[in-house]
Amino acid sequence: MAKIIPVDAFDCVVFGATGDLTLRKLLPALYYRFRDGQVPPDARIIGAARSDIGDDGFRKRADTALKHHVAAADLDPDIVSRFCACLHYVRLDATQPDAEWDGLRQMLDQARVRVFYLATSPDLYGPVCRNLGRAGLVTPLSRVVLEKPIGHDLASAREVNNRVGDVFDETQIFRIDHYLGKETVQNLLALRFANSIFERLWTTDVIDHVQITVAETVGLEGRGGYFDKAGVLRDMVQNHLLQLLCLIAMEPPVSLEADRVRDEKLKVLRALRPFEPHDAVALTVRGQYTQGAIDGKPVPGYLADLGTNDPSHTETFVALKAEVRTWRWANVPFYLRTGKRLPTKVSEIVVQFRALPFSIFPPEAAEWQPNRLIIRLQPQEGIRLEMMTKDPGPGGLRLSPTGLDIRFDAAFNIRFPDAYERLLMDTVRGNPTLFMRRDEVEAAWAWVEPILDSWAGRPDHPRPYSAGTWGPTAAIALIERDGRTWHEGFE
Ligand SMILES: NC(=O)c1ccc[n+]([C@@H]2O[C@H](COP(=O)([O-])OP(=O)(O)OC[C@H]3O[C@@H](n4cnc5c(N)ncnc54)[C@H](OP(=O)(O)O)[C@@H]3O)[C@@H](O)[C@H]2O)c1
């Protein structure tokens, strides 16, 4: 197991301390890092929100949240109580310049790293930063963490970036895409750049196409108000799926230094072929779930989940075909799909290699399947290389695809830290490698925006699909037109 290096004592102010993200993700992540000795006992985690709950109320909520979101075996009452002693609370309307900023200032230590985590609705990012600046709370050792979404289109993303940039230097801004904190995503860098075999195969001569699937079984989970204004293209493709595409498609960076990695990802975003209005019809499919069944249980349709009878044009599913216009990736399509209420929860990247140029085996010897490298982000993180091998035993030469597997949980037999654990510690350490730089976010919006515009200008609506299926049949046609199929062998 890797040695845990403690970070120096820090102050972390979490705006939105009473919200879902803080209680479900941030406090459990900080608890694990505390339990493992990485967060020192004199670190201060200061919750800030408008509710009048005080230190005790915040600690009680934290205690309850840990009971819900940390495995019982990992909850030690003594450690929980020492962790809760690091928690403090200030009541504050962060949009108000005359709020209790002095109270907050008095709690903070001038000499420490200061993390301002904005776990609030994104329209508060600008006002909160402005008030932090006015109150003189931003020191050279300060960093600000922004959750997605950064804007809802290019112009609004620029506006958020400008407002935050008025107060914080770009090196102090940490834009979270929690997918980048997943072990397997970091393992992608190791797979490609710490092994000599794959990089030589990472070319148009050898790779036929790439598929990226992020499938959810859940519907709106109480976030309907936000989701109905966003849709899955903004909510998932603009950030998570494009970031995964970048890690697959980028050239080797000259070093692991944050900006060198981000420079290479940016080049990929800029090499994506822009969508013309007619492309959005031919190369994208959007869908919206209707009632159906998942795991044998009936589930309502999107409008019922939303609690309305009025039609909504918001897509809960998207499949699209993207092209990275570089020498390496010429003629290698990237098929992306993501959606809600799909049959299974899975996030996978499939790199499919080209078929054999010629076979010495009789056609009846096998059901031929091209080699595939499957990188699984969830549920069980791992990597599988599918190869054709001989079926064991007598009875003639029969071939079948077999997987060379690395299942990380079995291989390492340790708990896999949640992405937020890694990312929170990276903000304290000031390492922005796994965070999105401003130009990346804006380049991703610049690519997505013509698709949104083209959809908005069309009379047709998202195609219906039954909950529990893999989206509208047009999504299957999108890839099958090219003589390929979606990978659905999830186990
Ligand atoms: N939840 C998730 O799983 C998730 C996942 C990815 C990204 N995100 C993003 O993370 C952010 C937070 O999401 P969430 O689900 O935690 O939202 P949430 O449950 O609605 O919580 C919002 C928090 O903001 C506080 N707040 C609202 N107005 C405030 C103000 N003027 N001053 C100070 N505090 C204020 C609220 O507390 P008071 O009412 O007490 O002030 C509450 O603590 C959003 O940007 C969301 O898009 C969330």
pLDDT in the model for residue 488: 82
Please check whether residue 376 is in contact with residue 346, taking contact to mean a CB–CB distance below 8 angstroms: yes
479 C-beta closer than 6 A to ligand 1: no
Distance CA 460, CA 281 (A): 10
- Looking at ligand 1, which residue's alpha carbon is closest to its atom 25? 16
Question: Phi/psi of residue 155, each to 5°?
Answer: -65, -45
Q: Is the pLDDT of residue 268 over 70?
A: yes
Q: Is the pLDDT of residue 491 over 70?
A: no
100 C-beta closer than 6 A to ligand 1: no
Sequence-distant contacts of 24-28: CB under 8 A, at least 24 apart: 24/65, 24/68, 24/69, 25/69, 25/418, 25/420, 26/117, 26/119, 26/420, 26/424, 27/62, 27/65, 27/66, 27/69, 28/65, 28/66, 28/69, 28/70, 28/418, 28/420
* Residues annotated catalytic, as ranges: 240
pLDDT in the model for residue 214: 97
- Looking at ligand 1, which residue's alpha carbon is closest to its atom 39? 50
Atom of ligand 1 nearest to the CA of 23: 16
Q: Which of 96-105, 177-186, 334-343 shows the highest mean pLDDT?
A: 334-343
183 C-beta closer than 6 A to ligand 1: no
pLDDT class of 365 with cuts at 50, 70, 90: confident
Atom of ligand 1 nearest to the CA of 53: 40
338 C-beta closer than 6 A to ligand 1: no
Q: Among 13, 15, 20, which is best to mutate for testing ligand 1, by the most ligand atoms less than 8 A from CB?
A: 20
Distance CA 281, CA 475 (A): 12
pLDDT in the model for residue 366: 84
pLDDT class of 1 with cuts at 50, 70, 90: low
**CA 120 to ligand 1 center in whole angstroms:** 3
Please check whether residue 27 is in contact with residue 35, taking contact to mean a CB–CB distance below 8 angstroms: no
**CA 29 to ligand 1 center in whole angstroms:** 17
Mean pLDDT estimate for the chain: 94
pTM of the complete model: 0.95
Q: Is the pLDDT of residue 16 over 80?
A: yes
The residue among 129 and 409 whose pLDDT is bigger is: 129
120 C-beta closer than 6 A to ligand 1: yes
Q: Is the pLDDT of residue 266 over 80?
A: yes
**CA 15 to ligand 1 center in whole angstroms:** 8
Q: Which residues contact 437 (CB under 8 A, 6 or more apart)?
A: 170, 175, 259, 262, 266
pLDDT in the model for residue 367: 82
Distance CA 279, CA 287 (A): 17
pLDDT in the model for residue 130: 96
Q: What percent of the chain has pLDDT over 90?
A: 82
- Looking at ligand 1, which residue's alpha carbon is closest to its atom 34? 49
Please check whether residue 146 is in contact with residue 427, taking contact to mean a CB–CB distance below 8 angstroms: no
| pLDDT tens per residue, range 103-133 | 899 999 889 999 999 999 999 999 999 999 9
57 C-beta closer than 6 A to ligand 1: no
- Looking at ligand 1, which residue's alpha carbon is closest to its atom 3? 21
| pLDDT tens per residue, range 243-255 | 999 999 999 999 9
Q: Is the pLDDT of residue 435 over 70?
A: yes
121 C-beta closer than 6 A to ligand 1: yes
Three-state secondary-structure class, residue 296:
coil
Instruction: Give me 99's structure tokens.
Output: 């709020």
**CA 122 to ligand 1 center in whole angstroms:** 9
Prior bond of 149 cis (ω within 30°)? yes
Q: Is the pLDDT of residue 489 over 70?
A: no
Q: Among 13, 61, 95, 120, which is best to mutate for testing ligand 1, by the most ligand atoms less than 8 A from CB?
A: 120
pLDDT in the model for residue 378: 86
Instruction: Give me 41's structure tokens.
Output: 């006992």
Prior bond of 472 cis (ω within 30°)? no
pLDDT class of 183 with cuts at 50, 70, 90: confident
Instruction: Give me 166's structure tokens.
Output: 């008025």
**CA 419 to ligand 1 center in whole angstroms:** 19
Q: Is the pLDDT of residue 3 over 70?
A: yes
pLDDT in the model for residue 109: 85
Please state whether 72 falls in left (phi above 0), alpha (psi between -120 and 50) or beta. alpha
Q: Among 27, 50, 423, which is best to mutate for testing ligand 1, by the most ligand atoms less than 8 A from CB?
A: 50
**CA 49 to ligand 1 center in whole angstroms:** 9
pLDDT in the model for residue 187: 87
pLDDT class of 76 with cuts at 50, 70, 90: very high
